[in-house]
Amino acid sequence: MTLHLPRAGGGTFAYEPRAEARAEPRTASGAAPLVSRAVFSAAHVVADPYADASPDTPAAVDWDATLAFRRHLWSHGLGVAEAMDTAQRGMGLDWARAAELIRRSAAEAKAVGGRIACGVGTDQLTAAVGPPSLAEVTAAYEEQLALVEGTGAQAILMASRALAARARGPEDYLAVYCGLLRQAAEPVILHWLGPMFDPALEGYWGSDDLDAATETFLEVISAHADKVDGIKVSLLDAEREIALRRRLPDGVRCYTGDDFNYPELIAGDDHGFSHALLGIFDPLGPLAAEAVRTLDTGDTKGFRELLDPTVELSRHLFQTPTRFYKTGVVFLAWLAGHQSHFSMVGGLQSARSLPHLARAYQLADGLALFPDPALAASRMRSLLDVHGVAQ
């Protein structure tokens, strides 16, 4: 069918969807694990569309569809980064539901032999009576760390809105993080999430100056390098990430969280490379796995040829306001047939415009990301119909 897609500036244009799906790579489902890079996809949650829920009520999750999507990622050899911001942590997914998600996903990972790491934060705290004390922030982190470690999953120490609100300088971050690392049973991943993903994290590590913040971050890592498996950096600044990873202690990995520059960062240079923990690998899962398997053979050129064309889509999904990228991720999962509807916890399906979604569809279709292009086109048309776009 021909679709008439809306332009951002008004009007529509005719678009001919792809007729055939991309050929499934030989090394797809059931293949051996990726070897040259550790790769996690931060995974979205599927809302329960039948629940009588609103943005002010606890999240209603379709657990079957949510876990099925994680099995999809594991089947391609990717790890799952669970209960992160891609899962709408702090943007629709409350701590009670996040805790259940962690338990369910960790159990599923054990059942299928999948790799999983889970977010540890402080989102059980509220700021109703002012920012919590540092002791309360630490206790909240400890509660979540105990839950994640109790499931057998690896812990990802996420940036904390509560700590950002309470901390008065670098010394408060050092006290909280060093205390947590001393308690960690196994090496964790430290997550530095920039304010473009969450404005409440402005000035994290005790300074608005990123150079000064980097020094505090490195001080935490160096003090307890034996408890740090790696760091996830989500600052959307490739040069800063490269400079940071070159200063990491031996044995500490850098997991890129840069959804703008990931091909070059994963490919690396003569001084090293980044592993990956990315939200964009939610819609790119099979293609990303194929690209890394190509890199496993030493074929960096082939890796870049597969992954470089996906950057335009990623930059589109993560455009300002970056925190609403989850809407595009779930939209593409619906078009790809991974879920039966386009609705999100917290009503976040409304966070992007129709022209934005139409462009995401066009770019994803051009990359042959949809296993069934006809289904994707049909679903895109139904969305256009609901919005009154004549076909």
Cα–Cα distance measured from residue 276 to residue 294, given in angstroms and rounded to the nearest whole number:
15
Coil, helix or strand at residue 371: coil
Each of the 391 residues of the chain gets a pLDDT tens digit; together they read 899 999 988 999 999 999 888 766 544 445 567 999 999 999 999 999 999 988 888 899 999 999 999 999 999 999 999 999 999 999 999 999 999 999 999 999 999 999 999 999 999 997 666 789 999 999 999 999 999 999 999 999 999 999 999 999 999 999 999 999 999 999 999 999 999 999 999 999 999 999 999 999 999 999 999 999 999 999 999 999 999 999 999 999 999 999 999 999 999 999 999 999 999 999 999 999 999 999 999 999 999 999 999 999 999 999 999 999 999 999 999 999 999 999 999 999 999 999 999 999 999 999 999 999 999 999 999 999 999 999 8
CA separation, residue 147 to residues 136, 153, 188 (Å): 17, 9, 14
Residues in Cβ contact with 141 at an 8 Å cutoff, skipping those fewer than 6 apart: 120, 121, 122, 157, 160, 176, 180
Structure tokens at 379: 């679903």
Cα diameter, the chain: 61
User: Quick check: pTM over 0.85?
Assistant: yes
CA separation, residue 317 to residues 237, 248, 291 (Å): 17, 30, 20
Cα–Cα distance measured from residue 106 to residue 88, given in angstroms and rounded to the nearest whole number:
18
